[in-house]
Structure formats: structure tokens, C-alpha cells
Structure 1
Amino acid sequence: MIIDAHTHVWPDKIAHAALSGNRLPGLVARGDGTVDGLTRDMSESGVDASCCLGIANEARHVDRVNEFVAGLRSPERFGFGTVHVDLSVEDNLASLRRHGITAVKIHPLFQRYALNDPRLWSIFEAFGSEIAVITHVGEGGSPEANALSNPGMIRDIARQFPDLRLMACHFGGYKLFDDAREILEGVDVVLETSWPPSLATLRPERVRQLIQRHGAERIVFGSDWPMTSPAEEIAAIEALGLSDDEVKLVLGGTMARILDVPSPWRR
């Protein structure tokens, strides 16, 4: 059972504008950002289920995004909601609970707050083990935006909140692979594999070494659709030289455990 831990979709009427507005410099989208587009690409690539990550760039959009994400819920889609530090802890939690959301996406580049912002840490403290978190980490914007997240911040969050179910996108540091490998090796955090425009742009032996040292039980496959092709990212993982058991954990077993869903690959 292949589970894609990292996709983005928007309502049809705003998908094009949202995708254009949130695009990282130098990257060309491979999909259209719609639910139908994701469904087609899942079918073509053999993905059984996708996590659809909602992002509210501004606090006033949080509840609307969470309502949309909750409406995506199906056997093939898991909706990850959003929070914002400009809302109180209570208001953030109320929105998530109102819509039955048990996991959120944080995106410092677009939401314009740092991973070490005390207001965000107050939200993490309130989450405990109830709400899982997946967050962008690393570069992709201006120097000021890039400074809002780095592997060291992920390490500090993992140590401060040991009960938090924390996942770090892009191996814990987009365009900061070596720093992430050095800082996060052995830290109790799940690392996600997306690396636009493709994981295949990294040397396979470096990725394989990181996965085997960190443990495949703490690695999840993510494509970052619509910015990459899920089929190509799956092929890149299968070409890393991992064992069959490691590949199954990365492509779905680890995420099935985090989501608490049945899977023959779950361990």
C-alpha cells in the first residue's frame, strides 16, 4: 500500500491561482493542483492513498482551509489541516476539532513565521500526541524566508516535545541535505523524502546512507505533488538500492503506522 505523505490540492476555482502564488522559484508544476488531477496521477503512479496538506497563509483563512481539507476525507485521501500563530491556541484547536482533523501542515515560507516562534511552540505543546505535524524545512524562498526553518529547529522541537508526532519534509532540510543528515541523524523525528524537482537529483548513495542510518521506520515517501511526478519519485526510491523491507516501509509502511491505518507493509 503506497501512501504519499505530501501533496497539495485546492478547490477547482482557485487551484491555478493558488499554485501560481505558492510556487517556489525555479520549479515548474507537474500537476494542476485539483482533486481530480491528483486522483488521475495517483491512479497512473500506483499510489493507494495521499495526504492532502492544507496551508492557510493568513490566520483569517484557517477555518476555511480546514473545512475544505475535512471535505477531502476518503479511503484514498487523508486531510491535513492548518494552524496559524496569529490565532490563539484555543482557536486553532477549536477549528481542528470542529472539522475532525488530527494532523496539520506547517509551512514557514508561506505562513511567514519561524519554527522556533514561541507562539507555534505553544500550539505544539497543546497538541501533545493528539495532532500530528508535518512541516516544510529548509530553503525555497528569499534569504529572510529561508531563515525561518532549518534542521536545528527540528531537532530542538523533537527534544522539547517528545510526544509530538513530528514529520520533517525534504529529509529535514530542503537544499540543506548535509546539514540535515548531520544534525538529525538519530533524532526521534520522521523524515519525508520529497526533493523537487526530483529525488533523483540527489546522489542515490547519499540518500540510501541517510535512510539506513536514520532507519526506514522513520522515513516516509512524499512527492510534493503537484510539483513533482509521484511515479518518478516512487521509481527514484526503488532505485536507491534499499532492501525490499526498507522500500515497503518508506513507500507506505511507516506512514500507515503514523496514520494508524491497516497495511500489509505496516510494522
Structure 2
Amino acid sequence: MIIDAHSHVWPDRIAEMALAGNRVPGLTARGDGTVDGLTATMERTGVDMSCCLGIANEARHVDKVNAFVAGLTSEKRFGFGTVHVGLPVEDNMASLRRHGVKAVKVHPLFQDFALDDRRLWDIFEAFGDEIAVITHVGEGGDARTNALSSPRMIADIARRFPDLRLVACHFGGYKILDDAEEMLAGADVVLETSWPPSLKELRPERVRNLIRRHGAERIVFGSDWPMTDPGEEIAAIEALGLTDDETKLVLGGTMARVLGIDSPWSG
């Protein structure tokens, strides 16, 4: 059961505009960001479930985004909602519970707050082990926004909130993998594999060694669709030379455990 931990979907009317707001130089979308586009991609690439990540750039959009992702949730899609430090903790939690959202995406580059913002930590405190979190970590913007997330911040969050089900995108440090490998070695955090424009940008032996040092039981496959092609990213993981059990954990078993859903690959 292949689970893509990292895909972005927007309402049809804003998908094109949302993609135009991509801040990573030289990165071109491979899909259109619509629900129909994702569905067709999943059928073509063999993805059984996609985590659809919602992001509210502004606090006033939180409830609308959570309503949208809640409507996406099905046997094939797991909706990840949003929170914002511009709202009181109680309002963030009320929105998630009202719409039955069990996981959220945090994206400092677009939401313009840091992973060590104490207002965000207050939200994490309220999450306990109830709400899973996946967050961008690393570069992708200008110097100021790049500084809003780092492997060190992830390590601090993991220590401060041991019950939090935390997933760090891009192996815990997009474009700063040396820092991520140094600061997150042994940390109790799940790392996600996306590396736009493709995981193939990294040396296979480095990725294989990283997965084995951290443990396949703490690694999840993510494509970052529509910025990459999930089929190509799955093929890159299958070509790493991992064992069959390790590959199954990475491609879906570990994420099934994070989400609390049944999978024959959970181990």
C-alpha cells in the first residue's frame, strides 16, 4: 500500500494561481494541483493514498482550508489541514475538531512564522498525540524565509514534545542536508523523502545510508506533487538497494503507522 505523504491540492478555481506562487527558483510544476489531476496521477503511478496538504497563508483562511481538506478525505485521500499562529490556540483546535481533521501541514516559507515561534509551540502542546504534523524544513525562499525553519528547530521540537507525531519534509532540511544529517541523527522524528525536482538529485548511496542510519521505520515517502512526478520518485526509492521490508516501510508502512491506519506494510 503506497502512501504519498506529501501532495498539494487546491480548489480548481485557485490551483493555477497557487502554483504561480511557487518560490523555488528553477522549479516547474509537473501537475496542475487539482483533485482530478491528482486522481489521474495516482492511477497512473500506483499510489494508493495521497496525503493532501492544506496551507492557510493567513489566519483568516484557516477554517476555509480545513473545510476543503476535510471534504477531500476518502479511502484514497487523507486530508491534512492547517493552523496559524495568528489565531488563538482554542480557535485552531476548534476548527480542526469541527471538520474532523486529524493532521496538519505547517509551511514557514508561505505562512511567514518560524518553527521555533512560541505561539506555534503552544499549538503543538495542545495537539499532544491527537494531531499529526508534517512540516517543511529548509530552504526554498529568500534568506529571511529560509531562516524560519531548520533541522535544529526540528530537533528542539522533537525533544520538547515527545508525544507529537512529527514528520519533517525533505529529510529534515531541503538544500541543507549536511545540517539535517548532523542535527537529526537519532532524533525521534519521522523524515520524509521529497527533494524537488527529484530525489535523483541526491546520490543513491547517500540516501540509502541516511535511511539505514535513521531507520526505515522513521522514513516516509513523499513526492511533493505537483512539483514532481510520484512515479519517478517511487522508482528512485525502489532503486536505492534497500531490502524489500525497508522499501515497504518507506513507501507506505511507516506513514500508515503515523496516520493510525491499517496497512500490510506497517510491520
Q: TM-score range by the shorter chain?
A: over 0.9
Q: Does 1:145 align with 2:135?
A: no
Tell me by how many angstroms 1:24 deviates: 2.2
2:93 & 2:130 partners in 1: Cα distance? 11
**In the alignment, which residue of structure 1 is the partner of 2:80?**
80
1:109 & 1:23 partners in 2: Cα distance? 9
**In the alignment, which residue of structure 2 is the partner of 1:203?**
203
**In the alignment, which residue of structure 1 is the partner of 2:215?**
215
1:24 & 1:106 partners in 2: Cα distance? 17
Q: Deviations over 1:118-144 (max 9, x none)?
A: 100000001000000000000000000
1:257 & 1:67 partners in 2: Cα distance? 25
Residues 261 and 104 of structure 1, relative CA distance in 2, 3 Å threshold: same
1:256 & 1:120 partners in 2: Cα distance? 25
What is the aligned residue count?
A: 267
Deviating above 3 A after TM superposition, structure 1's stretches of 4 or more consecutive aligned residues are none
1:98 & 1:22 partners in 2: Cα distance? 30
Q: Does 1:58 align with 2:58?
A: yes
1:22 & 1:123 partners in 2: Cα distance? 27
Tell me by how many angstroms 1:221 deviates: 0.1
Provide the secondary structure at the position in 1 that maps to 2:167.
strand
**In the alignment, which residue of structure 1 is the partner of 2:4?**
4
TM-score calculated relative to the size of structure 2: 0.99
**In the alignment, which residue of structure 1 is the partner of 2:165?**
165
**In the alignment, which residue of structure 2 is the partner of 1:103?**
103
What 5-or-longer segments of structure 2 have no aligned partner? none
Provide the secondary structure at the position in 2 that maps to 1:37.
helix
Tell me by how many angstroms 1:25 deviates: 2.0
**In the alignment, which residue of structure 2 is the partner of 1:14?**
14
RMSD across aligned C-alpha pairs, in angstroms?
Answer: 0.6
Provide the secondary structure at the position in 2 that maps to 1:212.
helix
**In the alignment, which residue of structure 2 is the partner of 1:228?**
228
Q: Deviations over 1:70-109 (max 9, x none)?
A: 0001000000000000000000000000000010000000
Question: Does the Cα contact within 8 Å between 2:158 and 2:187 map onto a contact in 1?
Answer: yes
Q: Deviations over 1:1-50 (max 9, x none)?
A: 00000000000111100111134222000000000000001011000000
What 5-or-longer segments of structure 1 have no aligned partner? none
**In the alignment, which residue of structure 1 is the partner of 2:122?**
122
Output the amino acid matched with 1:255: M
1:233 & 1:119 partners in 2: Cα distance? 35
Quote the sequence identity (%). 78
TM-score calculated relative to the size of structure 1: 0.99
Question: Does the Cα contact within 8 Å between 2:23 and 2:141 map onto a contact in 1?
Answer: no
Moved more, 23-32 or 235-244: 23-32
Output the amino acid matched with 2:54: G
Question: Does the Cα contact within 8 Å between 1:22 and 1:110 map onto a contact in 2?
Answer: no
Provide the secondary structure at the position in 1 that maps to 2:81.
strand
Output the amino acid matched with 1:32: D
Provide the secondary structure at the position in 2 that maps to 1:4.
strand
1:69 & 1:121 partners in 2: Cα distance? 23
1:48 & 1:62 partners in 2: Cα distance? 28
**In the alignment, which residue of structure 1 is the partner of 2:181?**
181
Tell me by how many angstroms 1:259 deviates: 1.1
Output the amino acid matched with 2:185: E
Tell me by how many angstroms 1:168 deviates: 0.1
